[in-house]
C-alpha cells in the first residue's frame, strides 16, 4: 500500500513537472526578447576602449543604444568620423554624417620657466591635492604640473614636458574628456579641429597682477579686441575669450598680442587642409576689408 502511494506521488509530481517544463519552454519561445543583430555588428565596429566618453558604461551599452536609435552615431569619441560613418551605413541612415573630431588642448602657457614660483609644496604630488593649498606658482589659475591629466589618459595622448606643462599628442587624442575632468583648475578643454584661434591662459587676475605672476599670461590689454573685426574676441573679467560661434578663426586678434598668449592652434591630424583653408580665408577677408576702407 505504501509503495503504491509512493509511486503514485512520484508519477504525479513527474507529470506536473513535465507539464510545467512544456509551459516554460513554450513561454520562453513566445516571450523571448530577440536581440537586434545590429548590436553585435555595432559592437564590432567600436574601438572597444570602454572609456565612457559616450555617456554609457561601456561599448556594449552604447552599441545597444545605437541599435535602438537612442543616441547619435557620432557619440563614440575614440572612433571619430570613421566609426560614425560605419554606424550610419549599418543603421541605413540616408543623411551623410559630418563629424568634427574634438581634441583636448591645454590652455595654460605658464610653465616653470615663465611663472613665478613663490611657494613650496611638500604634500602628495597630485594636482588635486596641491590645489587645496594653492600649489607652488604665484598664478592660482596656472597648471599645477603634477600630471593628474596624464594618469587618467587611456590612450597615452598627454605627457608632461620639461617645462612642467602637459602636452597633448593630437594624433593619439580621442577627445574622451577624462583629462578635462581630472584638472582641478579647468585649464584643459575640448575643442573642434576648426576652432583655429585660442587664448592659452585662464587667469582672471588684473593685468598688473597677472604680469608679475607670469610672463606669458593674458594682461587684458584689449589689443586683441581692437584687432579682431569680426567681434569674436572679447576681454571678459580680465581675460580674452574667443567666441567660436561668431568666428572659428579670428586670426587678426593674434597680431599685436604682447605676451603671445593668443595663438593659432595646431591642426588635428587628417584635417590639415581644412585648417589651412580657414586661415587663408580669414586672412583674405581681413585684407579685403582693409582695402575697402
Please, what are the domains in the chain? 38-91 (1.10.15.40), 102-269 (3.30.70.20)
Secondary structure class of 44 (helix, strand, coil)? helix
Segment 169-175 mean pLDDT? 89
8 Å CB contact between 106 and 180: no
> Hey, what's the cell of 141?
589659475
- In Å, how far are 176, 177, 215 from 142, measured between CA atoms? 23, 19, 12
| Residue 41 φ/ψ, nearest 5 degrees | -65, -40
- Separation CA 144–CA 123 (nearest Å): 13
pLDDT at position 81 over 90: no
pTM assigned to the model:
0.73
Instruction: List b or e across 124-137, with b for residues whose CB sees 16 or more CB atoms inside 10 angstroms.
Output: eeebebbbeeebbb
Query: pLDDT band at residue 202, thresholds of 50, 70 and 90?
Result: very high
Which of the two residues, 43 and 9, has the higher pLDDT score?
A: 43
- Separation CA 35–CA 144 (nearest Å): 49
Segment 265-286 mean pLDDT? 72
Write down the pLDDT at residue 293: 47
Segment 94-113 mean pLDDT? 81
Q: What's the chain's average pLDDT? A: 85
CA dihedral 62, 65, 66, 67 (to 10 degrees): 130
Amino acid at each position: 500500500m505504501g509503495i503504491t502511494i509512493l509511486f503514485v506521488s512520484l508519477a504525479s509530481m513527474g507529470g506536473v513537472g513535465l507539464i510545467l517544463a512544456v509551459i516554460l519552454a513554450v513561454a520562453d519561445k513566445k516571450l523571448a526578447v530577440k536581440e537586434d543583430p545590429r548590436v553585435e555588428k555595432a559592437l564590432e565596429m567600436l574601438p572597444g576602449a570602454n572609456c565612457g566618453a559616450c555617456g554609457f558604461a561601456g561599448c556594449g551599452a552604447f552599441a545597444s543604444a545605437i541599435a535602438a536609435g537612442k543616441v547619435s552615431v557620432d557619440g563614440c569619441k575614440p572612433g571619430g568620423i570613421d566609426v560614425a560613418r560605419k554606424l550610419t551605413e549599418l543603421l541605413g541612415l540616408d543623411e551623410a554624417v559630418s563629424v568634427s573630431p574634438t581634441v583636448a588642448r591645454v590652455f595654460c602657457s605658464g610653465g616653470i620657466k615663465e611663472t613665478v614660483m613663490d611657494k613650496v609644496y611638500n604634500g602628495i604630488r597630485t594636482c588635486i591635492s596641491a590645489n587645496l593649498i594653492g600649489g607652488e606658482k604665484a598664478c592660482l589659475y596656472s597648471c599645477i604640473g603634477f600630471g593628474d591629466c596624464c594618469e587618467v589618459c587611456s590612450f597615452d595622448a598627454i605627457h608632461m614636458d620639461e617645462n612642467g606643462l602637459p602636452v597633448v599628442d593630437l594624433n593619439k587624442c580621442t577627445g574622451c574628456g577624462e583629462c578635462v575632468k581630472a584638472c582641478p583648475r579647468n585649464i584643459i578643454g575640448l575643442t573642434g579641429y576648426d576652432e583655429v584661434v585660442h587664448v592659452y591662459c585662464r587667469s582672471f587676475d588684473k593685468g598688473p597682477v597677472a604680469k608679475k605672476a607670469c610672463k606669458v599670461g593674458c594682461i587684458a590689454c584689449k589689443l586683441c579686441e581692437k584687432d579682431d573685426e569680426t567681434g569674436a574676441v572679447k576681454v571678459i573679467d580680465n581675460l580674452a575669450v574667443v567666441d567660436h560661434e561668431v568666428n572659428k578663426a579670428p586670426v587678426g586678434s593674434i597680431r599685436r598680442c604682447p605676451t603671445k598668449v593668443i595663438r593659432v592652434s595646431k591642426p588635428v591630424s587628417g584635417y590639415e587642409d581644412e585648417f589651412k583653408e580657414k586661415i587663408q580665408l580669414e586672412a583674405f577677408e581681413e585684407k579685403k576689408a582693409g582695402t575697402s576702407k
